[in-house]
Structure 1
C-alpha cells in the first residue's frame, strides 16, 4: 500500500457511513504482536506501511473498530487504552512532576529541634540546610527543573513538591539540631565562616584549623555575612584602637566578652553600650558583632510583640538591638530567658495546633543612651559600658574607620581564636575569688584574661573586678530615678549611723519604720507601699540592688506572729558566696 492509498483510506474515515457495531474486543490481542494503526486526530506522523507484497495481519480498519495499539506485556494497559503509545509512556516519566518527585525523595529530609521541616541540598559542592517552606528552597526546586527541561513549570508543580518534602520530613522521625554560626561542645568550637568556599574553623585546646567538612549541621540565614579567613599570626588587641572606651577595666571586659561569645554552652552577659549621642555606640556594636556574627541587617529594633522578638533571636547568633530607650515587661522577660537559656513556643498558624519551639542562649548586644530596662533579673545579667561623646576634632568618617576595621578583622579574629584555644586549656585551673550571678561567664572571661596575659595588662583578677564594676554601674543607673529604693537605702544608712549593723523586725514593723523615716523627710512622698504585704513584695525585687549598695536582706519563714525581715550591713566576712 502506497502513501497515496493510505491517504485515501484516512480521507474515507472522515465521512463514515453508519456501520454495524463491531463486537471485536480491543484487548483480545493483549500480549500478542500487532501493528498500531494511527489514532484518529493524532498529529504524530504515520509509520510507513509494510510493502504491498507482505501480508498484513491487522484487520481492515473500520470507523467503529478500535485503532489503539495492543498492549505490550509489562506496560500499563490503561495507558494504551487511553491512546498513549509506548514512547509517550516513557516520555511521561521525565516530566517536571516526576522529576521533582524523584529529586525530593532522594534529599536528606528531617525536622529541626524546633519541629520545622528541613532539607539538606548541595549547591556549588557546599551542603546547605534549608527550611522546606522557605522561598530559598522553592527557588532551588525551580532552578533544578529549569536546568533540566529548559522551561518554567507551573507554580502548582513547585508547591506540590514542597508539600511532598514537608510530609516526608515530618514522618521521617529524624530530628537533628541545627547550629547558627557556631557550636561549642565544652571542648571544641566549630565556627561556620559562611563563605562560598565552604570553610569552617575547628578550635580546641590544641589549636585551631580550617576545614571544609564537619560532623554537625549549620543553618545559614539570608542576612548572614561571611567571616574572613582568620590570620594565625593575628593579635586580638588590635581591636582596642577601634573602641571609644576610656576605662581600662572596661577595655579588658569588652575584649574578653567578644571571645567568650563563642562559648555557646554558657549564659553570656548582655553587653550594653550606653552613652550620649555622638559616642559611636552603633559603630562599635557593629564592629563587635562583626567579629563573631556579621550581618547585613545591622542593629535591629524591638517592637512590642514577643513572637517577633523570638524570631529575631532565633535567626541571629549574636543579636544586636540598637538605640533602645524602654522595653515592655514581656520583652524584658524574653530577653532574660534568651540570655540565660530557655525556650519560646508559638503556633505556626492560627488555624492549626502545630507549635514551633525556639531555644535560646545568646550573647546579646544592646545600645542606648541609658540602660533601657530596670528589671532586676535582667540587670543581674547585664554589663554596662559607658561611652563618652567623641569631640569634634577627634571625629572620623565612618566609612574610613570601617574600612580599616575590615582590613584588620582577619588578624583580630585569628588572635581571638588563638586566645580561645589557650583559655580552653587554662579553664580547669582557674578559680573565682567571688561568684557573681553569671558565674560561668565570669569563669570564662577570667581564663581568657589569663591567656592574654599580665604583660598586656590582663589578668583573672582584673577581669572579675571589671565585671563587678560594670554590673554595679548598671544597678546605679537603674535606681537613679527610683524614689523607693533611694529612700530605703537612705533609711538603712541612717540606722547604721546610730550604730546598728543589723536590723530585724516583722514586715509590719519594718514597713512602719520606713514610712515614718520617709514622711519625716518628705510629707508629700507618694512612693510608700500602702500595705505591709505590698512592701514585702516590692522588697524581693530589690534584693540585688540592696546587696550592691552594701545591705543583705533575708526573709524568714512565715510564723504565727508574722514574717520577719533581717537587714544586715555587708562586710568582707558576710559577703555571699
Structure 2
C-alpha cells in the first residue's frame, strides 16, 4: 500500500475492525488467537508505525540553493586586517574557508624527499624550462623529426630510426618505448600513452597518404642488381650487419640500404668462417650422400625468397633424431627461440609463419586436413591470407607468406598429391649408437660458423652455374630442381647435378607410393594397362573390365570405387602418379557426351 493511501486507511480502519468483530465466526477465531497472547490483540499499540507516522509522509524536496556569482564582500576591522566573507549556501564548502585572515601565513606542503612515482612527476627537470602549459602531444613532435615513416607494397607502415639498425613496425611496442625514452630523458617523466599513440597515428596516416613505399624483408632478401642476383642475410646484431652474396663472392657489411625487420623471437646469426666446409654438416647430421645432396640443396634454396621452396618433411620412428636435425638446419640460417606447435586451424598457419623466415613445426600429427594441406601448398609457392582486423568492423589485413618450412613427424602426414609434389620428404631410421643432446649440441655450436661459411662459399658458384644452365624434363618445382642441380655441381667432391636430380625423383616417387600404399586401385590399373591397350575406352566399359580383373587378382571390390563416375574422379586425382611412373592419362568426352579414358606409355 502506498503512502498516499494512508489517510484513507486511517479513516476506515475502525469501521473495518467493527465489522470483523460483528462476525461470530471471526470473533471466535479472534478469541482463540488472543488467548495465546499475553496481551489481547485489541489492546496492542504499535509504536512508530510507518503507515501512521505523519513525519514519514511525502514532502516536496527543498529548492536547491542558488550560489551567488558575486565577488566576496571585503571589510576592514580596527586592526587593519582583511576579513573575507563569502555569502554562499554551498553545503560542501569548508566552514574554515568562509573567514580567512590575510596576515596568517598560508599552509605549505614540503616536498617529499622520496617520490614513489618519479616518472610521472609533473615537476620539470632542473635547469630546464617549464612545460606546464604545453601538451605532451606538442612536446613529442620535436622528438620524431628524425624518424622516417614509410609503407610497404601491402600498405603496412614501418619506421626507420637513426640509432636502430633495423626498421620497426609502426604497431610495435618498441617504437612507443623509443619515443617514451626520448621524452623521459628531456622532461624527466613519461608522456601520456594516448598522446604517444596519437602522434604515431598521425605519422602513419601521413606515410600512407604520401605514397612512400619500400620493400621490407624478414632475415632473407633477394635483389636484382643490373640483372644479377644479390642475396642478403640479416645477422640481426646491434651493428646492423648483413651477409651480401653475389656471383663473385660474399661479404659481411653494415654498409647496405636493405630494410630488414626484426621480431622478438629472432636471435643473432654469428659471423661465418670463410675457411669452413659444408661437408662437416653431413657428419653432424649422420646422413648419407644421397640425403646430403637433397639437404644441401634445400639449405641453399632456403635463403632464395624469389623462388618456390619445398616443404622439408623429416619423419621417422622415435629416436631417429629428426627433431635434432631439424633444429640444426633451421639454426644454421635463422636462429630463433620459438618452435611452434602445428595449429589445428588452417587459418592460424599464416599468422605463425608471418614473423618467421624458416618456420619449424615439430611433431606434427598423423593426418593433415585438406585446408591444412592447401595452406602449406601456398606457403611453398606463395600466397596470402586476408582476415578481419577487428570483429567490430570490416577492415581487413593481408598476411603474405612464402616460407621455407620444416616439419617433423613420426608418420608422414603428407598424403595430398599436390602437397607431395611440393615437398621434400626424407625418412630416418632409429639411431643405434646415440650421443647425448648436450655433446651433439656442443659439437654443432663449435662448428657452426665453419659450416655456414662452407655453405656461403657454394652459393656464388651456384649462381654463376644457374645463369647458363639448361635442363630438359625438370620435375615439379622446376626452379628448386634447377638451383639444386647448380648447388650439387658447385659442391664437387662426388656430388653432381645429375645425381641430385635422380635422388630427387626417387624421393618424390617414394612419397607418392607411400601416399597410396593402402589403396589397391593404382597398382591394379598399372597391371591392367600394362597388358591391355586402353585407348578412348568408355569409362563404363573400363570400369566393368577392371572390376572383373580385380576378381582375378583376388582384390576386395569394397576397396575399389563403386561406380564409373567415382572411378573417373579417382583416376583423375591420380594422373600425376601414373605420369611419374611412365603413363600419360587423359579422360575426355566422346560421342554422345560419354566419358572415355586413354592410357599412353610416356
1:118-176 residue CA offsets vs partner (Å, 9 max, x unmatched): 22224xx3332222222222222222222222223343333333433433333332232
Residues 539 and 452 (structure 1), Cα distance of their counterparts in 2 relative to 1, 3 Å cut: same
Partner residue of 1:323 out of 363, 371, 375: 363
The structure-2 alpha-carbon separation of the partners of 1:309 and 1:347, relative to structure 1 and needing over 3 Å to count, comes to same
Aligned to 2:139: 99
- Aligned residue in 2 for 1:535: 567
**Which one of 543, 549, 558 corresponds to residue 517 of structure 1?**
549
Q: Which residue of 2 aligns with 1:188?
A: 230
- Between the aligned partners of 1:94 and 1:380, the Cα distance in structure 2 is 64
C-alpha displacement of 1:426:
1.1
Give 2:266's match in structure 1, choosing from 197, 219, 224.
224
**SS at 1:185 equivalent:** strand
Contact 2:146–2:161, Cα closer than 8 Å, also in 1: no
Q: 1:13 to 1:228 in 2, by over 3 A?
A: farther
**Is 1:197 the counterpart of 2:235 in the alignment?**
no
User: What is the rounded CA distance, in whole Å, between the counterparts of 1:12 and 1:101 in structure 2?
Assistant: 51
Change (3 A) 1:558 1:113: farther
> Partner of 2:185 in structure 1?
147
Match of 1:163 in 2: 201
The answer on whether the counterparts of 2:462 and 2:490 sit within 8 Å (CA) in structure 1 is yes
Equivalent residue for 1:400?
A: 439
| Structure 2 Cα separation of the partners of residues 529 and 313 of structure 1 | 39
Maintained 8 Å contact 1:488/1:514: no
Determine whether 1:118 maps to 2:152.
no
Q: Give the distance between the partners of 1:135 and 1:558, measured in 2 at CA.
A: 65
Measure the CA separation in 2 of the matches of 1:88 and 1:128: 33
Once residues 13 and 216 of structure 1 are traced to their aligned partners in structure 2, the CA distance between those partners, rounded to angstroms, is 75
Q: What is aligned with 1:426?
A: 465
- Give the aligned partner of residue 130 of structure 1: 168
Asked if structure 1 preserves the Cα contact closer than 8 Å seen for 2:550 and 2:556, the reply is no
- Residue in 2 aligned with 1:283? 324
Partner of 1:493: 527
Deviations 1:494-519 (A, max 9, x none): 342x4x35544122222232333335
Paired with 1:491 and 1:16, the residues of 2 have a C-alpha distance of: 110
User: Structure 1 residue 434: deviation in Å?
Assistant: 2.8
**Alpha-carbon deviation of 1:360?**
2.7
Q: Secondary structure at the match of 1:153?
A: coil
Q: Residue in 2 aligned with 1:64?
A: none
Q: Which residue of the partner structure matches residue 311 of structure 1? A: 351
Secondary structure at 1:115 match in 2: coil
State the TM-score, normalized to the length of structure 1.
0.78
Aligned to 2:84: 15
Over 3 Å counting, the alpha-carbon distance change for 1:98 and 1:494 in structure 2 is: same
Counterpart contact for 1:430–1:446, Cα < 8 Å:
no
RMSD (CA atoms) = 2.8
Are the structure 2 counterparts of residues 94 and 209 from structure 1 closer, same or farther at C-alpha, using a change threshold of 3 Å? farther
1:443 corresponds, among 456, 477, 482, to 482
CA change 1:233–1:88 in 2 (3 A) is closer
| Greater CA drift, 151-160 or 310-319 | 151-160
Structure 1 distance, partners of 2:468, 2:555, is 57
Aligned to 2:214: 176
Contact 2:529–2:599 (8 Å) recurs in 1: no
Residue 291 of structure 1: SS of its match in structure 2?
A: helix
1:430-450 alpha-carbon deviations (Å, 9 max, x no partner): 232431011111100111111
Residue deviations 1:183-234, cap 9 Å, x none? 1135111111111222111110111111112223111111111111111111
Cα gap change, 1:13/1:539 in structure 2, threshold over 3 Å: closer, same or farther? farther
Distance 2:426 2:528 in 1: 32
* Counterparts of 2:216 and 2:86, CA distance in 1: 73
Q: CA deviation at 1:323?
A: 1.0
8 Å CA contact 1:491–1:517 kept in 2: the answer is no
Aligned partners of 1:202 and 1:210 also within 8 Å: yes
Which residue number in structure 1 is paired with residue 431 of structure 2?
A: 390
Retained in 1: the 8 A contact 2:281–2:451? yes
Structure 1 pair 216–538 and aligned structure 2 pair: CA distance change class (3 A) = same
Partner Cα distance (2:349, 2:336) in 1: 17
Partner of 1:240: 282
TM-score by length of 2: 0.75
Following superposition, the deviation at residue 243 of structure 1 comes to 1.1
Aligned length: 484
- Partner SS state of residue 171, structure 1: helix
**Aligned equivalents of 1:307 and 1:231: distance in 2?**
40
Aligned equivalents of 1:165, 1:559: Cα separation in 2: 67
Quote the offset at 1:524 in angstroms: 5.1
Q: Contact 1:233–1:414 at 8 Å: present in 2 too?
A: yes
Residue 108 of structure 1: how far off its partner (Å): 1.3
Q: Is the 8 A contact 2:534 2:597 kept in 1?
A: no
Q: Does 1 or 2 have the higher relative contact order (CA < 8 Å, sep 6+)?
A: 1
Mapped to 1, the partners of 2:191 and 2:297 lie a distance apart of 53
**1:16 Cα deviation from its structure 2 partner:** 8.1
Select between 220-229 and 548-557 the one with higher mean Cα deviation.
548-557
What residue number does 1:476 align with? Answer: 513
Cα contact 1:105–1:165 (8 A) shared by 2: no
Pair 1:508 & 2:540 matched:
yes
